[in-house]
Amino acid sequence: MANLKEVGSGLRDAGTQAVQGVEAGITQGVEHAAPGLEALARFGYASKGAVYGTTGLLALNLALGRGGQATDTQGALTRIQDLPLGGVLIWLLVVGLGGYALWQLLRALLDPERHGAAPGGLVKRAGYALSSVTNFALAYFAYRLAAQGSAPAGQGQGDIVRQVLEWPGGQVLLGLAGLALLGFGGVQVAHALSGKFMKHVALRDFAARHARAVKRVGQAGVAARGVVLGAVGASLTLGAWKGSASGVRDTAGVLTRLRDQGDGLLGIVALGTLCYGVWCVVQALYRRIKIGP
């Protein structure tokens, strides 16, 4: 029995040393690659800004009666491709969105911002992981768009929701996803009101009045994003409650619904979404980015 305990203890120690060795190797590799990863993360923020800025500009033009379109980030990428040199721009966005997704993954796994393993910290890191997945998916959409020269055929959100509702426990899963998105949207609005979203941005090079202007743009952008995400989450929650995909809306659906309520309301949210794109570019330039633990 003693021998078995010694063997077990030895295996645990060996496993612990192996894990520590892997972690040390990853940390060392990340530290060596830190300058390149930081540049890629900054390019990612700029790329995200281009996509959201396009989404907001299209919706704003729609509200002003100048053409435009109520669309989501995939629709924005499709419109960007239609621009002169759009094919080149899309390839750049493939790299940028992939870089942003990688940065979010590093935030989740390596915890460079020291959120820790407490429940609140784990929730934030899980959010970064989810952001990584969604942005990798958007980068992949952009890749297929660039490679094929046209928008790839895929399932609509309604089809996906209907499939989820057919899963065992799918209604509960959809409801939880909707509540999570609704909660995240509320947190975004709260951060916009409090100015908490500014804590990672270094604006010491700005004059005080310029810093205030940047903060106002950020507040408008983060609040608008929170409103749209909250509306999407609310529609998912309601769809789960009813067991139906008929009322579920994505970003394009939310913007279309806002237009039904009046061009003024759509214009406010569209301008906010455009501001969010600008805010992402500000982060590309001035965010404090720490790679690795």
**Is the pLDDT reported for residue 117 higher than 60?**
yes
The confidence score (pLDDT) of residue 162 equals 79
**Is the pLDDT reported for residue 278 higher than 50?**
yes
| Helix runs in 64-112, H state only | 73-81, 86-110
**Nearest CA among 44, 153, 45 for reference residue 94:** 44
d(CA 50, CA 70): 16
Query: Stretch 59-85: mean pLDDT, rounded?
Result: 92
DSSP secondary structure code for residue 66 in this structure: S
CA quadruple 97, 257, 59, 280: dihedral sign? negative
Give the percent of the chain with pLDDT over 90. 53
Q: Model confidence over 247-271: pLDDT tens digits?
A: 888 899 999 999 988 899 999 999 9
Indicate the pLDDT class of residue 216, thresholds 50, 70 and 90. Answer: very high
Q: Model confidence over 230-253: pLDDT tens digits?
A: 999 999 999 888 888 888 888 999
d(CA 194, CA 67): 35
d(CA 22, CA 172): 38
Query: Three-state SS string across 108-155, please?
Result: HHHCCCCCCCCHHHHHHHHHHHHHHHHHHHHHHHHHHHHHHCCCCCCC
Indicate the pLDDT class of residue 155, thresholds 50, 70 and 90. Answer: low
d(CA 228, CA 223): 9
**Nearest CA among 93, 48, 81 for reference residue 150:** 81
Query: Stretch 183-206: mean pLDDT, rounded?
Result: 88
The confidence score (pLDDT) of residue 19 equals 45
Q: pTM of the entire structure?
A: 0.86
> Strand, helix or coil at 6?
helix
Amino acid at 185: G
**Nearest CA among 191, 155, 186, 160 for reference residue 173:** 160
The confidence score (pLDDT) of residue 16 equals 57
Between 95 and 120, the more confident residue is 95
Q: Residue 283: how many CA atoms within 13 Å on its side-chain side?
A: 27
The confidence score (pLDDT) of residue 15 equals 52
- Answer whether 224's CB lies under 8 Å from 255's CB: no
Indicate the pLDDT class of residue 200, thresholds 50, 70 and 90. Answer: confident
Quickly list DSSP for 187-244. Answer: HHHHHHHHTGGGTTB--TTS-HHHHHHHHHHHHHHHHHHHHHHHHHHHHHHHHHHHT-
Q: Model confidence over 87-108: pLDDT tens digits?
A: 999 999 999 999 999 999 999 9
Give the percent of the chain with pLDDT over 70. 85
Between 283 and 291, the more confident residue is 283
